Amino acid sequence: MGHKPVDTDRLWPSFYIFMISKTMDKKLTRIRFRDAAIEQQFERDGYIVLKNFADAAMVDRMRAVFEAYYVPPTEKMVCWNSAVNVGEDEKKQISAELLKLLTPQLRQHIDSYMDHFGYFLTKPADETATNLAIHRDASAVDEKQFEYLIFWMPLVDINKETGYLYLMPGSNRLFEYELPFGVSWPYKHLDSELQKYAVKLDLKAGDAAIFSGKTLHGSYANMSGAPRPVVCCGLVDPATELMYYYYDREKNNVEAYTVSPDFFLQSDFSHPKEKYPLRFSFEYQPPKLTGRDISDFYKKNWSLYKGHYGMLDRIRKRYFSFV
């Protein structure tokens, strides 16, 4: 009898997930939370929520900064980003004002961190508003050593009308690969499969979500008829080297350069050769994953969802939806 041929495309994702399971306990250098329960939750889920992070007065001060700089876009865009859509001097001024307000509050929850940059991420009031599809953010550190965290705090209540933020618990341990700056996320074709595992966050103005840059997330359309401003900033341990992952399309190669904390507030993202020190490079080849691979990962890590659904919903989702 002949041997059945081996499906190498199918073996690769399984091997990839196996290797992740072997390294899930690896401790990357990142900020650490003072509260042990919150620290444990972040280790498990790849995100945490801090209720009432900012009081009403702080939210009002941040809204005043937002209104001083925000000009409704004349063209359609999914998100208005103050780190992109204003001039360089204004970007730096916005960042400085936000960090001045955020830093004292952050230090109540975090042992130590390096100031990076602050910015507004805003869904405009738009009759043709769209969802921000599920994705991970571009790499900004050496992800074999460090972990980059994102602070996300709305200045209005987040609900069905304004567009929920959603995340996939534990996905930072599945999607462990470097994503160059300005490159489309390579798993758009799996969006419907990934959505099965999304958890909507119930956030009021002043509540904060903090999640790994590798944690998959997205948000629904803003249908409220008013802008939906969110304050964001990067959070890294002081020992972290910040990096710019430049993608050379002709060579299909990624080059990682060490950059300063305010690098992403400037507008020149051309080839950084001879401008910044090159740390390493590699061929860009994201792992091949299928819907089944994602399902297998979450079946093995179902405990990630036990706090998000009632028992009947857990049974229905585990055995009938997550297949």
DSSP for 225-238 reads SS-EEEEEEEEB-T
Please state which of the ranges 66-80, 164-178, 216-230, 309-323 shows the lowest mean pLDDT: 309-323
Neighbouring C-beta atoms of residue 24, cutoff 10 Å: 13
**Beta-bridge partners for 135:** 217
Give the mean pLDDT of 31-57: 96
Structural domain spans, the chain: 29-289, 292-323
Separation of alpha carbons 173 and 141, rounded Å: 16
Please state which of the four CATH numbers 2.60.120.620, 3.40.50.1100, 3.50.50.60, 3.30.750.200 is assigned to the domain occupying 29-289.
2.60.120.620
Q: Report the chain's C-alpha Rg in angstroms.
A: 20
Helix (H) or strand (E) holding 279: strand 278-283
CA distance between the termini of the chain: 33
**Residues 6 or more apart whose Cβ sits within 8 Å of residue 11:** none
Between 165 and 316, residue with greater pLDDT: 165
Separation of alpha carbons 232 and 257, rounded Å: 23
Which range among 20-34, 52-66, 78-92, 253-267 has the greatest average pLDDT?
A: 52-66
For residue 15, pLDDT over 50 is answered with: no
Q: Which residue has the tokens 């508003």?
A: 129
Q: Which residue has the tokens 């945490």?
A: 48
Neighbouring C-beta atoms of residue 84, cutoff 10 Å: 14
The confidence score (pLDDT) of residue 7 equals: 46
For residue 322, pLDDT over 80 is answered with: no
**Beta-bridge partners for 256:** 245, 280
Separation of alpha carbons 182 and 191, rounded Å: 19
Long-range contact pairs involving 96-101 (C-beta distance under 8 Å, separation at least 24) = 97/65, 98/62, 98/65, 98/231, 98/233, 99/233, 101/58, 101/61, 101/62
Give the mean pLDDT of 268-279: 91
Contact yes or no for 195/295 (Cβ under 8 A): no
* pLDDT tens digits, one per residue of 115-170: 889 999 999 987 667 788 899 999 999 999 999 999 999 999 999 999 999 999 99
What percent of the chain is modeled with pLDDT above 90? 65
Separation of alpha carbons 266 and 235, rounded Å: 19
Give the mean pLDDT of 12-41: 71
Give the mean pLDDT of 98-117: 92
Q: Which residue has the tokens 């903090």?
A: 210
Structure tokens at 160: 């069905």
For residue 16, pLDDT over 70 is answered with: no
Contact yes or no for 122/226 (Cβ under 8 A): no
